[in-house]
Amino acid sequence: MTPVLPGSADAAGQPATLGVMGGGQLGRMFVHAAQRLGYFTAVLDPDAQSPAGRVSHHHIQTAYDDPAGLAQLAGLCQAITTEFENVPAQALQALARTRPVAPGAAVVGIAQNRIAEKAHFASCADRSGVSCGPYAVIETLAQLQAVQADRADLLPGILKTARLGYDGKGQVRVRTAVELAAAWAELGGGACVLEKLLPLTAECSVLVARGWDGRVVSFAPQRNVHVDGILAVTHAYEGNMPPALAKSARDATVSIAHHIGYVGVLCVEFFVVDDGSEHGGLVVNEMAPRPHNSGHYTLDACDVSQFDLQVRALAGLPLPPPRQHSPAIMLNLLGDGWFDASGQPREPDWPAVLSLPGTHLHLYGKSPARPGRKMGHLTITGPDVASVKTVARRAAGLLGLPGLDGI
């Protein structure tokens, strides 16, 4: 990888341009980070009103697998990334024939399929020191019947589609063999994974950035609170989890990134389970081959954000170890907050929220607001953890956010 330097130009005099597949909020924040360094940007997304497309130098409004659109993106850009894992792997393969693409199609393909992802975690468990929880693959009626007959230890559990399930979608909790069969039919009778329900005490995630040269830097693990399968609160400060667990999570994430030769920003999510030890044990849950919702606090609490590192890794620039300068709590803002208790549209009370010290509001430019839709996030920073928690509780109360008991 020859570095793509900020402010440089190609042989035709065109400014250095970085591309991103996907035009959502993660793409938007990537675009902002790239533009701060002086790069031009290009976004490929079919939505004319995509958040990233609206702020980029170029918006290629085509399907992700459109050959003409992909050729146009490759012609504009010196290097290309993706903002979400469900971009067709074939599209990334096509782009990689002429341009550096990070992360690559093979890595993204692992994250697209829970079956492949579980197998990957199992293959590097000896090296990472952390394994995934008990599970079974169900792709056929015969496999379903085998699990019903021989794997009662997996119940109660959660049945998840192998593909396209996220933020609580494509998932059904099951307690019995009869419920398992009904859930499999409800999910379409296709490829699924049955995961045993574990006694969780907490959830956490780790963000790392790995360069083309194999250098890895990381943020400290963040502790996460989910409501109905969607991230509600992220705690990012020293002492948010026991040091030994934090080290294990970070070491495991670095090991996973090395194992697959990852390039870019990678997030790995973990469960902390009650295993009888003082602080519990770690179980790896899933990975995201991109920046992550739980890392949005880095925009306001760190000297380089996860998006800064995504740009640097893609462009082949040096990766400085990030330094967090303020404790932080991030609150996810879903479209539910744009409606009152009777379902009538309303505007959140931004003046009251922004009058609180240390509040940083990020809205993603999405319209219209819908329940469950990620509209933005609010990060609270301050001089100490106690003051950050106090402001976060007040802000969550003003906005009617869930997860107050998790602050």
127: phi then psi, degrees, rounded to nearest 5? -80, -40
Interhelix angle 105-112/89-96, rounded to 10 degrees, is: 170
Locate tokens 């993603």: which residue? 364
Report CA Rg, the chain.
Answer: 21
Instruction: Determine if residue 167 is labeled as part of a ligand binding site.
Output: yes
The per-residue DSSP string of 108-172 comes to: HHHHH-HHHHHHHHHHTHHHHS--BPPEEEE-SHHHHHHHHHH-GGG-SEEEEESSS--TTTTEE
Amino acid letter at 200?
A: L
Confirm or deny that 203 is annotated as ligand binding. yes
Q: Is 366 annotated as a binding residue?
A: no
Residue 160 annotated as binding site: yes
Is 361 annotated in a binding site? The answer is: no
The annotation status of 166 as a binding-site residue, yes or no, is yes
Is position 104 annotated in a ligand binding site?
no
* Torsion of the alpha carbons at 378, 381, 386 and 389, rounded to the nearest 10: 0
Residue 326: left if φ>0, alpha if ψ -120 to 50, beta else—which one?
A: beta
- Residue 226 among known ligand-binding residues: yes
| Residue 169 among known ligand-binding residues | yes
247 annotated to bind ligand: no
Residue 170 among known ligand-binding residues = yes
CB atoms within 10 A of CB 333: 24
Q: Is 195 annotated as a binding residue?
A: yes
Annotated binding residue 83? no
Residue 120 annotated as binding site: no
Q: Is 78 annotated as a binding residue?
A: no
53 marked among binding-site residues: no
Going by the DSSP 8-state scheme, the letter that residue 221 receives in this structure is P
Q: Residues annotated as binding site?
A: 114, 160, 165-171, 195-198, 203, 226, 285-286
Q: Residues annotated as binding site for ATP?
A: 114, 160, 165-171, 195-198, 203, 226, 285-286
